[in-house]
Amino acid sequence: MRRQKLDEEGKKVIGGAKKIAKEFEVFVSRGNVVDLAVGVVIGAAFGKIVSSLVNNIIMPLIGLLLGGMDFSGLSFSVGSAVVTYGVFIQNIVDFLFIAAGVFVFVKLINSINRHATANTTKVKDTAVAKKEDDQLKVLQEIRDELRKNNVQSGEQKDLR
């Protein structure tokens, strides 16, 4: 009969591949991993859209403005090596457009979050003010009742 390994709390110790599989299951089941995966897929799709925009619309227009120049064909040779710097220029333009798009998207999300936070704060402030008004009203009623009782008993205390 095989003896099972137990930890200091008496729980069964999972070994080797089973332990790694269990840790992976816990890791994958967290919400952040799913959010990250969705972000990567959306980012890849967004990158393809921007690349298409740059390659098929913007760069041809820039080339037309510069006298029909095609950036993707720009290159020079050093010995038997060919350096295609036009592709590099095109990738830089891709990056700038993707960075600008992400920047605008993040600014939009931050603006929406600020607006939502401001509305939540207004609702909380209104609720706190109403609660304070209710408390003040109760305190004023207590004060008035104490005045009434003091006047009836003949005592003259200053209750403002």
For 15-28, what is the mean pLDDT?
77
Q: Are 70 and 55 within 8 A, CB to CB?
A: no
What is residue 136's predicted lDDT score, i.e. its pLDDT? 84
Q: Domain limits at 114? A: 16-153
Q: What is the CATH number of the domain that holds 113?
A: 1.10.1200.120
- pLDDT category at 159 given cuts 50, 70, 90 is low
Structural domain tally of the chain?
1
In a domain, 96, yes or no: yes
157 versus 143: the higher-pLDDT residue is 143
For residue 156, is pLDDT > 60? Answer: no
CA–CA distance, 148 with 157 (Å, rounded to integer): 11
CA–CA distance, 116 with 122 (Å, rounded to integer): 10
In a domain, 47, yes or no: yes
For residue 103, is pLDDT > 80? Answer: yes
Distances in Å between the alpha carbon of 154 and those of 142, 145, 148, 149, 157? 18, 14, 10, 9, 10
Is the pTM of the predicted complex or chain greater than 0.85? Answer: no
pLDDT in tens, 5-18: 666 666 665 567 78
In a domain, 160, yes or no: no
In a domain, 9, yes or no: no
In a domain, 5, yes or no: no
pLDDT in tens, 137-154: 888 888 888 888 877 776
- pLDDT category at 79 given cuts 50, 70, 90 is very high
For residue 133, is pLDDT > 60? Answer: yes
For residue 93, is pLDDT > 60? Answer: yes
